[in-house]
Amino acid sequence: MAAANVVSSPTVSVDARLNPKALYALEAALVSVLLLALTLAGFGPWFHEGLALALTLGSMGAAVPAMALAHRAGHELRRDPRQLGGGLAKAAVLLAWGGFLGSGIINNLVLYLLFPLFWPVLVGLIIARFALHSGDTRGEDAFLATFDRSSQHAPCQRCGRPTHLDSGSWRSDRWYCPGCASPPKGVSA
Binding stretches for Zn ion (CB under 5 A): 156, 158-159, 177, 180
Query: Whose Cβ is closer to Zn ion: residue 13's or residue 182's?
Result: 182
Query: Using CA atoms, how far apart are residues 65 and 117, in angstroms rounded to an integer?
Result: 27
At residue 135, what is the residue type?
A: G
How far apart are CB 179 and Zn ion at their closest, in Å? Answer: 5
In angstroms, what is the minimal distance from the CB of 129 to Zn ion?
30
Between 88 and 156, name the residue whose CB sits nearer to Zn ion.
Answer: 156
Q: Which is nearer to Zn ion, 111 or 159 (CB)?
A: 159
Q: Report the residue number, 48 or 138, with the smaller CB distance to Zn ion.
A: 138
Tell the smallest beta-carbon distance from residue 90 to Zn ion (Å). 33
| Smallest gap from residue 152 Cβ to Zn ion (A) | 17
E strand spans, the chain: 153-155, 162-164, 169-171, 174-176
Nearer to Zn ion, 55 or 177 (CB): 177
Closest distance of CB 5 from Zn ion, Å = 11
Strands (E), 103-156: 153-155
